[in-house]
Amino acid sequence: MKKVFSVIGICMLIVFSIVSLIAAFANGNRGIINEDGRMVDAVANEEIALKIGKALLEEYFSDVPWDETPIAAEEKNGIWTVHNVVNQPETTDDGQPFVVKGGGLYVQFRKDNGKILKIGVND
């Protein structure tokens, strides 16, 4: 009889653990709930995205003169991408198309909760 209760207790513990994990993951991608009880995005607009993105870029790429470097923010499918703007001529001095390989610094984070997805250099 004691073994039956032990097995039932262990099964209940496993079920409780699984339910707790599912609940934790299900709540992980939600936005912020404001005082009205409505769900809002953590990074709701371009101005906030630029501030967060610039702070992250300054932290990870401290050798770049960020006060002199223009940055832009773009939102697509719930993901903000903040990157430096590389101004370049359309053609080289000899008339060939100007191509930049690498050098673009960026950070990507979720619009709904601000979770950082990537920080890197474009190749």
Same domain (yes/no): 86, 108: yes
Rounded Cα distance between 107 and 49, Å, is: 10
Higher pLDDT, 21 or 85: 85
For residue 104, give Cα distances in angstroms to 58, 76, 92: 14, 18, 19
pLDDT in tens, 33-82: 666 767 667 888 899 899 999 999 999 988 888 888 889 999 999 999 99
- Do residue 80 and residue 110 come from a single domain? yes
Helix or strand run (H / E) with residue 109: strand 105-110
Q: Which pTM value belongs to this model? A: 0.61
Do residues 61 and 115 both lie within one domain? Answer: yes
> Do 83 and 114 belong to one domain?
yes
Is residue 36 a part of any domain in this protein?
no
Q: What is the largest CA-CA distance in the chain?
A: 90
